[in-house]
Amino acid sequence: MASGRVILTKNEAFAYKLPPGQNTGKDTNWKANSWNLSKPDWTGKLKLVTGSDKSCYIKLESAGSIYAECQVDNYPGPAVTTVSDSSRYFVIQMKNKEYLGLGFADRSDSFDLNVALQSHFKGILVEEAIEKESNEPPKEKLDLSLKEGQTIKVNINIPKKSTRNRSKSPSVTGRGLPPPNAAAMEAAGLVAPKKFPAPPTKQTNPNWIQF
């Protein structure tokens, strides 16, 4: 395995040799209570390291030497499996296809391993999606620009000045009241009464003198 980036380190991890019949992977219903949990076969440091490819590796180290190594190509997957009776223990598949029990004293350590594996492979999926999108040919954009010689005709209806002035002046929709007649004005005292000349006096006798 080429050296890669260490994405998780746990200073205390335990390894257990599985009982006969469980180390072949035929029975995947693993239970940690069938192991000798009080006496682990190995105690040391766990490292989760990225590889040159998309895989990552679980390395069990002690005093600078590697006790076991597990290549993880996907997760969840056959390389790393949780047991059915505890959240602190796993079963990992070795390079020689044998299986080994893996556990932690603290439940938070097993949780961290679980999250680190999930995050690693989710990140790979995101990178693959971005790479696929960048390799796709660019979509043809709709060209809305005018070609040489093309023009656009726009009709704008602007009313003439005289029409605008007429539209602004108030319209008369009805007639005003007729002016009052002279008799009504006289009755109201608005004008002096009109004087008419007295009718001529008819003289029956031309020799009479009128006093």
Q: What is the CATH number of the domain that holds 76?
A: 2.30.29.30
Q: Quick one: pLDDT at residue 179? A: 67
The predicted structure's pLDDT at residue 209? 46
pLDDT at residue 10 greater than cutoff 60: yes
pLDDT at 153: 79
Segments of the chain assigned E as strands: 6-17, 42-50, 56-62, 65-72, 80-82, 89-93, 99-103
User: Does some domain include residue 176?
Assistant: no
- What percent of the chain stands above pLDDT 70? 71
Judge whether 12 lies within some domain: yes
Express each pLDDT in 95-149 by its tens digit: 888 899 999 999 999 999 999 999 999 999 898 888 777 777 777 777 777 777 7
Q: Looking at the domain assignment, is residue 113 inside a domain?
A: yes
Please say if the pLDDT value at position 49 is more than 80: yes
**Single-letter residue type at 103:** G
The residues, any chain, with a CB within 8 Å of residue 170's CB and separated by 6 or more, are: none
Q: Which residue has the higher pLDDT, 1 or 7?
A: 7
Residue 209 lies in a domain: no
pLDDT of residue 19: 86
Range of the domain at 92: 6-133
Q: Are 61 and 47 in contact (CB under 8 A)?
A: yes
Whether the per-residue pLDDT at 172 is higher than 70: the answer is no
- Over residues 66-108, the pLDDT tens digits come to 999 999 999 999 999 999 999 999 999 998 888 999 999 999 9
- On average, the pLDDT of the chain sits at 81
How many CB atoms sit inside 10 A of residue 59's CB? 19
